[in-house]
Amino acid sequence: MDPSIAQFTKGERPRPASVIASLLYLGSCPDVPVSWVGAPPSGTPADNCEYVPRSVIIHDARDTAGFLALDRNGFELWHAPSALGNFLDEEEVGRRYYPEVAELALQATGGEEAHVFDHLVRRREPGRPPMTLGGRGGQLAGPAGRVHVDYTEASGARRFGMVLEGNPPRGRFAIVNVWRSIGSAPVVDTPLALCDARSVGPGELVKSEIRYPARTGEIYLVRHRPEHVWSYVSEMRRDEALVFKQYDSDGGVARFVPHAAFDHPATPLDAPPRQSIEARVLVTFR
């Protein structure tokens, strides 16, 4: 075990701070929600549904991080320094960062094997335009402002076959996301909000198609419910990482964690744009 990796220590439970901010939920939709990443075909709208901003309370989980549990709440905060300096170097990310992420995923989940299969670097766009899907506008993607989960019941199972080709599932497996800041300053601009998995009902998760030029993916979008419990971690640093569930085949634990970037109401006008990296990991269990 790498001694530099540690879950934040439990202590006395303080009263958490909170902010009121807007999150973009799925609104009215006549059919299966469809969104295009990049330019859609001529005459085709980029989205076929409405997305509605809802004001919600988002609690600061920093002081209560030691009470979070991945299989109960669906997310945890870890102290996990990285030896990587340049997160824009794809080769170095694969060679040096992926092993770090795999070790962290195993420690967080208690799994047997971890397979890092994907990563994405995001940077807040100049001028801070309204956030939507977070598609690529060049080398980097913008922050994803719609409340979503990266995998559905079906697409999570398909991902297993894509990562471990020719090996059908023989037991429990999960997909987790490892999210960290890669900027020189703590994250103040557009932090990541996470919804406690216990507060989300299955009827609020809506299967949606994400269409790319050469393929179609399936994610969950989310309908608003006042009982949703939202959290973020204030001023995240490069030596910290959020680990959260995208899918779990075990129906008795937290399985899906809706998440979205949001505009913090106290963000200074001169705050540096958020830069982050997210890596997705398939974890198998004994």
Segment 174-233, tens digit of pLDDT: 999 999 999 999 999 999 999 999 999 999 999 999 998 889 999 999 999 999 999 999
Neighbour count for residue 169 (Cβ, 10 Å): 12
Q: Please state whether 43 falls in left (phi above 0), alpha (psi between -120 and 50) or beta.
A: left
- Contact (Cβ atoms closer than 8 angstroms) between residue 127 and residue 137: no
Q: What average pLDDT does the segment 251-280 reach?
A: 96
Report residue 3's pLDDT band, with 50, 70 and 90 as the boundaries: low
pLDDT of residue 11: 41
- Rounded Cα distance, 143 and 131, in Å: 7
- Give the residue ranges of DSSP H helices in the chain: 90-92, 98-109, 153-163
Structure tokens at 64: 């209560």
- Rounded Cα distance, 200 and 183, in Å: 31
- Contact (Cβ atoms closer than 8 angstroms) between residue 38 and residue 132: no
What is the model's pTM?
A: 0.92
Asked if residue 130 has pLDDT above 90, the reply is no
pLDDT of residue 4: 61
17-284 is classed in which CATH architecture? Sandwich (2.60)
- Rounded Cα distance, 217 and 210, in Å: 5
Asked if residue 99 has pLDDT above 60, the reply is yes
17-26 pLDDT per residue, tens:
899 999 999 9
Asked if residue 63 has pLDDT above 90, the reply is no
pLDDT of residue 12: 41
Domain segments of the chain as ranges: 17-284
Name every residue whose Cβ is closer than 8 Å to that of residue 257 and which is 6 or more positions away in sequence.
74, 75, 149, 194, 195, 197, 244, 245, 246
pLDDT of residue 139: 60
Structure tokens at 43: 């005459």
Residue type, 85: G
Cα 204 to Cα 156, 158, 228, 236, distances in angstroms: 18, 22, 10, 29
Name every residue whose Cβ is closer than 8 Å to that of residue 184 and which is 6 or more positions away in sequence.
272
149-185 pLDDT per residue, tens:
999 999 999 999 999 997 877 899 999 999 999 999 9
